Amino acid sequence: MTVLGTGTMGAGVAASLLREGHEVTVWNRSVDKATPLHEHGATVAEDPGAAVAEAEVVLLTLFDTDAVVDVLEAAAGEAPTDAVWVQASTIGVAGTETVVQLAGKYGITLVEAMMLGTKAPAEQGKLTMLAAGPADVLDRIDPVLDAIGAKTVRAGDQVGDGTALKLAANAWVASITAATGQSLAIARSLGLDPDLFLQAIAGSAGDSAYAHVKGRAMIAEEFPAQFALDGLRKDIGLITDAARTSGVSTVLLDALGRVYADASAAGHGSDDIAAVGTAF
């Protein structure tokens, strides 16, 4: 089992795989982000080609399309021909189409397993996996998905269906996080303890566990990154592109883009997405 990319999500996923007894090889462009996994039993490879040389499954957990393309082209010819490559990076519709074309060029067996969740669920093996691809190939990687996720939703039999579902889900994450920040700011500006908002929605039809998690961070003004704000900004751009291309109104997405951009410009780009509350 090989994990290419050991940033926030990749490192957590690799740790979960190791905990579940998988033999794991890892690689990251910045080796200092991969080295700590050696202490947990992972083999740290010097380059992508070496990392995939004996892999049965290759998991791509990288930041954007350019990174996925670079790594795939560097490693494609080095992996066993029967290896399954699992694209788990959020790269949008166009990026996914590019990777599918490259997989065809190199004769790679490719499926998707988008990761819905943040740092803690990745480390705990409690992500929701949004899988797509031929059913028989997905069956082969079920033990991997079970090790890193609490459940797997099969979005379809075409690579790209998982990406579509991930974009829809992240639109929800971006919306509810920003909406929580807005409501807390309104309560505070009108002279109330903002925690009263969380008390008011608790247990109601409009309640959300996510609103409480992010709301508590906003009230405490503590933003250790579980999902970096600039990472979600990147995703909002991908979601907006997909919506515009498919004829969905981008009015709300455009507003979200501006709000997250304001928080990033104020110095919160590497903080958790809860820092979007500062924009209000």
| pLDDT tens sequence across 256-275 | 999 999 999 999 999 999 99
Q: In CATH, what number does 2-159 get? A: 3.40.50.720
Q: 221: pLDDT confidence band, cut at 50, 70 and 90?
A: very high
Is the Cβ–Cβ distance between 88 and 115 less than 8 Å? yes
What backbone phi and psi angles, to 5 degrees, belong to 181?
A: -60, -40
Fold of 165-279: N-(1-d-carboxylethyl)-l-norvaline Dehydrogenase; domain 2 (1.10.1040)
pLDDT in tens, 123-164: 999 999 999 999 999 999 999 999 999 999 999 999 999 999
Q: Please, where are the H alpha helices in the chain? A: 8-19, 48-52, 65-75, 92-106, 119-124, 135-140, 142-148, 161-189, 195-201, 209-220, 229-246, 251-263
User: Are both 2-159 and 165-279 of the same fold?
Assistant: no
> Do residues 270 and 223 make contact, with C-beta atoms less than 8 angstroms apart?
no
Q: Give residue 82's identity as a one-letter amino acid code.
A: D
Q: Where are the domains of the chain?
A: 2-159, 165-279
DSSP 8-state assignment for residue 243: H
| DSSP alpha helix (H) spans, 20-127 | 48-52, 65-75, 92-106, 119-124
- Phi and psi based region of residue 35 (left: phi greater than 0; alpha: psi -120 to 50; beta: remaining): alpha
Write down the pTM of the prediction: 0.95
